[in-house]
Each structure stands twice: as C-alpha cells, then as structure tokens.
Chains A and B, each alone.
Chain A
Amino acid sequence: EVQLLESGGGLVQPGGSLRLPCAASGFTLNSFGMGWVRQAPGKGLEWVSAIGDNSGSTYLADSVKGRFTVSRDNSRNTLYMEMNSLRADDTAVYYCARSSGWWAFDIWGQGTMVIVSS
C-alpha cells in the first residue's frame, strides 16, 4: 500500500527549530516529486515547499524562504523538512504529499501538528 507517514511535530518556542521526517512506503521516493503543505487551525491549505524527483531541485514559498529547507534521504525513502527561526504563524498541521506530476499531490500523509508558542 502506498503511504506517507509524517512525524516530528510538537510544541516549540518562537525562534526554535524542528525537523519533520516523512517516511514513504509502497513506492520509491526518488521517482517522484514531493511537497509539504500546511494548514493553520481553522484555515485553508498553504503550499510550503517541494522537491523534484531525481533532479533534487527545491522550491519554497516566500513565507518560509531562508528559514525552511526540504531534502530527501533516498536510502531511507524519507523526505525531510528542516524548519528554523520558527514563528507563531508557522503553527499548523504539516502534510507531506507525493506529486503525481502536473504539480498535483495525489498521496497525502495524515499530517503532524506543529505549535509555535512560548
């Protein structure tokens, strides 16, 4: 079964850092582009980042540029998002998702909650 499983969420103070892993199963991660999408409590979806398939090109939303990075470990079949200088408005459920091509996300994880608060 094709699945994505995020982890690493939790409570972090403003200015702090977190790394979110997303473990893929049922498919080979480096054959697909991948992305991260977040959803603040009671709000809509916001695209955060993406990484190309074998090319490894990365793309970031302006709201996180310079603070977040996206990477993958093909040997572990795992996607990562490193989040630094976290702010209160980064509080959200973070979903990792597989790109089917067409810049569309066809497989989603269950999400992991990140709360930035003192």
Chain B
Amino acid sequence: QSALTQPASVSGFPGQSITISCTGTSSDVGAYNYVSWYQQHPAKAPKLMIYGVTNRPSGVSNRFSGSKSGNTASLTISGLQAEDEADYYCSSFTRGSTVVFGGGTKLTVL
C-alpha cells in the first residue's frame, strides 16, 4: 500500500488561508469517506483535527475544515495563526482493510 501524496511543505502569512491536498486512489481516498487529518507539533503525539472527511472533533477550532473530491482530500486552515505551524498528515481506510497515511506536510506560518 503506497502512502497518500501530500505536498512536502506549504506556507502562509498570519490571517491567510491555506489548503493541503492529499491524493490517493480509488482503493482508499476515493473508496470511502474515512479520511482523517492530524496535526503534529515537534516531539509531540499527533492530534486528530478532522475525521470522516469533514467532521471536527470537539475542541478543534472551526478554522479547520476538510473536503474531498474523487481521489483527493483537502484540509483548509483559515485565519492562520502562529500556533498552526506544525506537520499535518492525512490518512484513509483502504479496500485492503488497512489504514494508509500521507507523507506529511510541513506548514510554516511566515
């Protein structure tokens, strides 16, 4: 199972919006609405930000939103803040009954 494809890095200024893409195949992202997004700060455990493509867990800011079109899912962060600087990973359930993560995207807040 190949990793989902994410851009290695994205950046934006405070207050701006950014979008991180996550491209898979018809066997994972395109097959199910089981796409999740995680935020990871250095030396910390990942934190769930989005599940089921569009759902936010309790306590996650509504500045974070998710979507999907075909085999590509996206995470959008609006009103960028310094604390959003972190690594972001997408994941998806697959037809093989496994989970696959993306390679990760480093977000830099300029």
Q: Chain A interface (Cβ within 8 Å of chain B)? A: 35, 37, 44-47, 50, 59-62, 95, 100, 102-106, 108-111
Contact = CB atoms under 8 A, between A and B. Distances in A.
Nearest to A93: B45
Contact of B93 (A61, A95, A103, A109): A103
5 contacts: A35-B99, A46-B101, A60-B98, A103-B36, A103-B91
Given A100-B51, A102-B52, A45 B38 contact: yes
B91 to A, nearest CB: 7
Interface of B: 1, 3, 32, 34, 36, 38, 40, 45-48, 51-52, 55, 57, 87, 89, 91-93, 97-104
Contact of B100 (A35, A47, A102): A47
Contact of B48 (A45, A47, A100, A109): A100
Contacts of B98: 47, 59-62
A61 to B, nearest CB: 6
Contacts of B97: 59
A108 B99 CA distance: 16
A105 B49 CA distance: 10
A102 B34 contact: yes
A37 B40 CA distance: 13
Given A46-B101, A95-B45, A105 B36 contact: yes
* Nearest 10 CB-CB pairings of A with B: A104-B51, A104-B36, A47-B99, A103-B93, A108-B45, A44-B104, A102-B52, A103-B34, A45-B101, A102-B51
Given A45-B89, A47-B100, 4 more contacts: A45-B46, A102-B34, A103-B92, A109-B45
Contacts, number: 67
Contacts of A44: 3, 87, 89, 101-104
A100 B57 contact: yes
A42 B68 CA distance: 28
Contacts of A47: 91, 98-101
B31 to A, nearest CB: 12
Interface centre among A46, A95, A102, A106 (most CB of B within 10 A): A102
